[in-house]
Structure 1
Amino acid sequence: MDQGCSIFKNLVIGVAAFGVGFLGMAFGTRAAEVKDVQALVEKIHWLGHDSFRIDGKDAVVYIDPYRIKDGPPADLILITHEHSDHASPADVAKIRKADSVIVTTAAAAAKFSGDIRTVKPGDALTVRGVGLRALPAYNLTKFRSPGVPFHPKEAGHVGFLITVDGLQIYHAGDTDHIPEMAGLAPDVALLPVSGTYVMTAEEAVRAAAAIGPRVAVPMHVGEGIGSLDDAARFKAMATVPVIVLPLEK
């Protein structure tokens, strides 16, 4: 083999080795990114429908407990609005303790007693070391009768931007894709995807792109409203990372 062929052969081997090394680094980076995304939801437990539990270091937070089993006692219970599949006194009783705090709208507060803090869209407060910001949640295109939305803006229903242990989680509540979502950029966005009363999977894809979370989690499926197929469709179409949490019952 002459010197030119030898140089060419070494060049090919070097390029191939670089390619393998580059691919290895790329796959390693991708695996690390997946691990980082998974870490964002380690504290979050999906209890069905719109119900979640967040296990903070110093506070256990429940959101819209509905048809749940007993669980760790709640330090903080967030309720987005007064509808019975979100504001359920029987389910709150399963996880409430003497000093649990409920944060909810005025209409939902009428169903409960004890330490209750009422909020409306735009309010911000800190309870048990957990930062809370109440955001609007309403329908633009989902109607129970012509011109009458299931969740009217004027009803003052809310979603919550929740900060626990430095992690920011947006629970959208029962809502369509609304302008107030744009640019929120939380770590985690919990988004309804079932349609009928809330965003469809396709609408939730557009909402997720506008919100810009590090990861999105579909909700408002199961319990006879929507199905896991809606969650899977949302994941397949979304332009942000999506994790479908296992149902914990």
Structure 2
Amino acid sequence: MTVHYDGLQVEWLGYATVRLQSSDGTVVYVDPGRYGVLDDDARDEGPTSEASGASSGQWSDGDLVCVSHAHHYDPEGIRRVASEDATVLVYDAVHHSETDRDVTPVHDLPFDTRRVNTEANVVVDGVIVHPIEAYNHADGPHTRPDGTPIHPEGFGCGFLLDIEGTRVYFPGDTDVLDGFGELNVDVLLPPIGGTYTMDREGAADLAELLTPDLVVPVHYDTFEEIEADADAFAADVAGRGVPVALDDST
């Protein structure tokens, strides 16, 4: 699904993977990969790039790749979307030891890879990247059997991206947190699947709080635990006077 907002292309590719393209051609990916969301796309064509290990077809077009936390750290996904001279921004806490998957350590990625935290903005190819806190409340519903949050504070982040003056907010895997309402957002990309993140009701409340010009929900229907009624979400958000776009294939 691709939607357009003021010269910006917004494409949800499945799970948490989002592709953004500015009017000047700058391409940003957020949390690319996991669960095969990049495996079957027709754009995955062409010979392999020797430097990155990625296809040299249209997938290898990312100027900037942002990774929010260890659950979404997928080196193969990064390689498939990043151009050879891409910059990869990875949240500070992401470490290969934080996953039971066999993944390349962050410091071994074949790109200009930089660590980010919520203390400072980063500018890459004219895109201003502001990492935002993202976590589950310790006393909320998104906890493990032992009572610890699935995404504890400091484990990951969301991203507020300023792309040619359009402010795109990708909250990441999080509950709705105090302070979110202070953000100035044009395009909101909230998770709606629940279980590990805010559910569709919480995401609708966040949309009403932020009053963006466009909402594109993500992080739902990839597997059973995050199935969501996207049509009900869209009706809820639209009923609050906020435009919303859905992937018609879900």
TM-score, normalised via structure 1 length: 0.77
Matched, 1:102 2:88: yes
Query: Helix, strand or coil: the match of 1:44?
Result: strand
Counterparts in 2 of 1:161 and 1:117: CA distance versus 1, 3 Å: same
Matched, 1:131 2:128: yes
1:149 is matched with 149
2:75 is matched with 89
| CA drift at 1:98 | 2.4
Question: Contact 2:60–2:83 at 8 Å: present in 1 too?
Answer: no
Counterparts in 2 of 1:41 and 1:236: CA distance versus 1, 3 Å: farther
Matched, 1:73 2:61: yes
Matched, 1:55 2:41: no
| 1:178-207 Cα distance to aligned partner (Å, 9 max, x none) | 112113131101000011000111111111
Query: Helix, strand or coil: the match of 1:97?
Result: strand
Question: Contact 2:4–2:10 at 8 Å: present in 1 too?
Answer: no
Answer with 1 or 2: which has the greater Rg: 1
| CA drift at 1:246 | 5.0
Aligned length: 208
1:244 is matched with 246
Query: Helix, strand or coil: the match of 2:76?
Result: helix
Q: Which runs of 5+ in 1 are unaligned?
A: 1-36
| CA drift at 1:105 | 1.0
Residue type of the partner of 1:80?
S
Question: Contact 1:109–1:116 at 8 Å: present in 2 too?
Answer: no
1:117 to 102, 114, 117: 114
Q: Distance in 2 between matches of 1:242 and 1:145?
A: 35
Counterparts in 2 of 1:233 and 1:191: CA distance versus 1, 3 Å: same
Question: Contact 2:159–2:172 at 8 Å: present in 1 too?
Answer: yes
Q: After TM superposition, what 4+ stretches of structure 1 lie above 4 angstroms from structure 2?
A: none
Q: Which runs of 5+ in 2 are unaligned?
A: 45-58, 97-104
Q: Which piece of structure 1 moves more, 38-47 or 73-82?
A: 38-47
Matches within 5 A, 1:156-195: 157-195=156-194
| CA drift at 1:109 | 6.0
| CA drift at 1:247 | 5.9
| 1:4-59 Cα distance to aligned partner (Å, 9 max, x none) | xxxxxxxxxxxxxxxxxxxxxxxxxxxxxxxxx95348511110011111112142
Q: Distance in 2 between matches of 1:40 and 1:144?
A: 41
| CA drift at 1:144 | 1.3
Q: Distance in 2 between matches of 1:246 and 1:148?
A: 36
Counterparts in 2 of 1:93 and 1:38: CA distance versus 1, 3 Å: closer
| CA drift at 1:177 | 0.9
2:51 is matched with none
TM-score, normalised via structure 2 length: 0.76
Counterparts in 2 of 1:151 and 1:230: CA distance versus 1, 3 Å: same
Instruction: Quote the sequence identity (%).
Output: 31
Q: Distance in 1 between matches of 2:208 and 2:85?
A: 39
Residue type of the partner of 1:176?
D
| CA drift at 1:122 | 3.3
RMSD of Structure 2 on Structure 1 (CA): 2.1
Counterparts in 2 of 1:41 and 1:52: CA distance versus 1, 3 Å: farther
- The structure with higher relative contact order (CA 8 Å, sep 6+) is 1
Q: Distance in 2 between matches of 1:43 and 1:247?
A: 18
Query: Helix, strand or coil: the match of 2:172?
Result: coil
| CA drift at 1:154 | 3.0
Q: Distance in 2 between matches of 1:104 and 1:38?
A: 27
Residue type of the partner of 1:82?
A
Of Structure 1 and Structure 2, the greater helix share is in: 1
